[in-house]
């Protein structure tokens, strides 16, 4: 699924991603961000294009396997 970052707080390590059609938003945790190396900072920028999967948790549906399309 594709979308864009609505907002992300790097200090707290979480934020929200909007779907491509901007009809739904999903929680994202820094641990769900995929990076090319372990040394790369796991953060997102508002408006940034991303690709992600969805995972159903006891707290609701969350974005996982988040890949930054234009890092």
Q: Is the pLDDT of residue 37 over 90?
A: no
CATH number 2.40.50.140 given to 2-68: yes
Degrees (nearest 5) of the Cα angle 53, 57, 60? 90
The pLDDT value recorded for residue 46 is 96
- Answer yes or no: is pLDDT of 5 > 90: yes
Give the chain's length.
71
Confidence of residue 39 (pLDDT cuts 50, 70, 90): confident
- Confidence (pLDDT) at 65: 97
- Tell which phi-psi region holds residue 13, choosing left (phi > 0), alpha (psi between -120 and 50) or beta: left
- C-beta neighbour count of 8 within 10 angstroms: 20
What is the distance between the alpha carbons of residues 18 and 14, in angstroms, rounded to a whole number?
14
Provide the pLDDT for residue 55: 96
DSSP-derived secondary structure for 41-57: -----TT-EEEEEEEEE
Give pLDDT, residue 51: 97
């Amino acid at each position: 699924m594709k979308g864009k970052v609505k907002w992300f707080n790097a200090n707290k390590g979480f934020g929200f991603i909007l779907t491509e059609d901007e009809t739904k938003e999903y929680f994202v945790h820094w641990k769900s961000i995929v990076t090319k190396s372990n040394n790369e900072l796991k953060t997102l920028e508002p408006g940034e294009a991303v690709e992600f999967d969805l995972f159903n948790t006891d707290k609701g549906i969350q974005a996982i396997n988040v890949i930054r399309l234009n890092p």
